[in-house]
Amino acid sequence: MIQLSGVSKRFPTGLLAVSGVDMTVEASEIVAVIGPSGCGKSTVLRLIAGLDSPTSGMVRVAGHRVEGPSRSVGVVFQEPRLMPWLTVERNVSFGLHGEETAGPVAEALARVGLADFADALPKELSGGMAQRTAIARALVTKPPVLLLDEPFSSLDAFTRIDLQEHLLEVWGWYRPTMFLVTHDIDEALVLADRVIVFSGQPGSIEAEITVDLPRPRDRTDLAFHAFQDRAMKELGRSSRDRQARAQTPGSPSRAPSS
Ligand SMILES: Nc1ncnc2c1ncn2[C@@H]1O[C@H](COP(=O)(O)OP(=O)(O)OP(=O)(O)O)[C@@H](O)[C@H]1O
Ligand SMILES: [Mg+2]
């Protein structure tokens, strides 16, 4: 459903943010990406969303080359980005034009547990409810792909765990392919079929961990702890690699000045 082949991104500043990324995400798979700050996770997500274009290589979604934002892809960011003057319902229906909105909006709101808040304004919502509204907005057209960039990282620990459970329920609705960027190893391990560990700079895939634990996953389980240890080790390796690269003269992350 998502395919990156030899994808690199160099920004006009000369910074090589991502280099040679090959990655495939199958239909209905949940993939989480973890890695140190600045290693290029959001850049990769933006390339998949069509919000930015690669310098080289190709990004495909559902078999089509990504050439800009598309209706096949819903995106949720760290902040809900709701329009404060519109109700929850109008925020969710905002991107729908000239089509029947009432049914899909009601269904999306019910799926995220906000059926009773359709007429509320964003200022009347808690942080978790606002983010659930953002998820409903991303999924109202049932896009086959949902991209989430640290969607729960500004929420308190209780709300975060609650929303992780909600997200799995929402996934069960029509099983979209999910690509989740997170700083939270437990979040990655609770949600994902596969965790990709990124290292930077430039950002590249350091390791992949297949999380073959049944759901719902128990964070206190020994098998879960074994995955936590493994992810911590891979992350540690990726941070050390990054520091080593930063200290190497002629490091490839910046273009030679001309
Ligand atoms: N538009 C841009 N122009 C120039 N450099 C950019 C741009 N966007 C990102 N970068 C740089 O590219 C690198 C990767 O950024 P990115 O936002 O993808 O990292 P990240 O892994 O998502 O980090 P974080 O975990 O802090 O969100 C960083 O060094 C960042 O400064
Ligand atoms: Mg980021």
pLDDT value at residue 250? 57
Tens digit of each residue's pLDDT (9 = 90 or more) over 189-223 = 999 999 999 998 899 999 999 999 999 999 999 99
Mean pLDDT in residue range 4-14: 98
CA–chain centroid gap for 191, Å, is 12
The rounded Å distance from CA 33 to ligand 2 centre is 10
Mutation choice for ligand 1 from 41, 48, 148, CB with most ligand atoms inside 8 A: 41
Helix (H, G, I), strand (E, B) or coil at 174: helix
Tens digit of each residue's pLDDT (9 = 90 or more) over 60-115 = 999 999 999 999 999 999 999 999 999 999 999 987 877 788 899 999 999 999 99
Contact 114, 129 (CB under 8 A): yes
Give the residue from 199, 243, 192 showing the smallest Cα distance to 32: 192
For atom 12 of ligand 1, which residue has the closest CA?
17
pLDDT value at residue 87? 98
> Domain locations in the chain?
2-37+45-72+143-247
pLDDT value at residue 203? 94
The whole-chain average pLDDT of the chain stands at: 93
pLDDT value at residue 82? 98
Give the residue from 205, 82, 184, 60 showing the smallest Cα distance to 136: 82
Indicate which atom in ligand 1 lies nearest the CA of residue 198: 21
For atom 20 of ligand 1, which residue has the closest CA?
38
Strand (E) or helix (H) holding 58: strand 56-61
pLDDT value at residue 258? 40
For atom 31 of ligand 1, which residue has the closest CA?
38
The band of 33, judged by pLDDT with boundaries at 50, 70 and 90, is very high
Indicate which atom in ligand 1 lies nearest the CA of residue 46: 18
The rounded Å distance from CA 117 to ligand 2 centre is 30
Indicate which atom in ligand 1 lies nearest the CA of residue 39: 21
For atom 25 of ligand 1, which residue has the closest CA?
37
pLDDT value at residue 257? 44
Tens digit of each residue's pLDDT (9 = 90 or more) over 145-199 = 999 999 999 999 999 999 999 999 999 999 999 999 999 999 999 999 999 999 9
For residue 3, the tally of other CB atoms under 10 A from its CB is 19
For atom 18 of ligand 1, which residue has the closest CA?
40
The string of DSSP codes covering 110-154 is HHTT-GGGTT--GGGS-HHHHHHHHHHHHHTT--SEEEEESTTTT
What's the predicted TM-score (pTM) here? Answer: 0.94
- Is the four-CA dihedral 107, 108, 111, 117 of positive or negative sign? negative
- Tell the residue number behind the tokens 């090959």, with chain if given: 22
**C-alpha span between 150 and 159 (Å, rounded):** 14
pLDDT value at residue 254? 54
**C-alpha span between 179 and 185 (Å, rounded):** 15
| Domain 2-37+45-72+143-247 in this protein, CATH class | alpha beta
The rounded Å distance from CA 11 to ligand 1 centre is 9
Pocket, ligand 1, Cβ cutoff 6 A:
11, 13, 15, 17, 35, 37-43
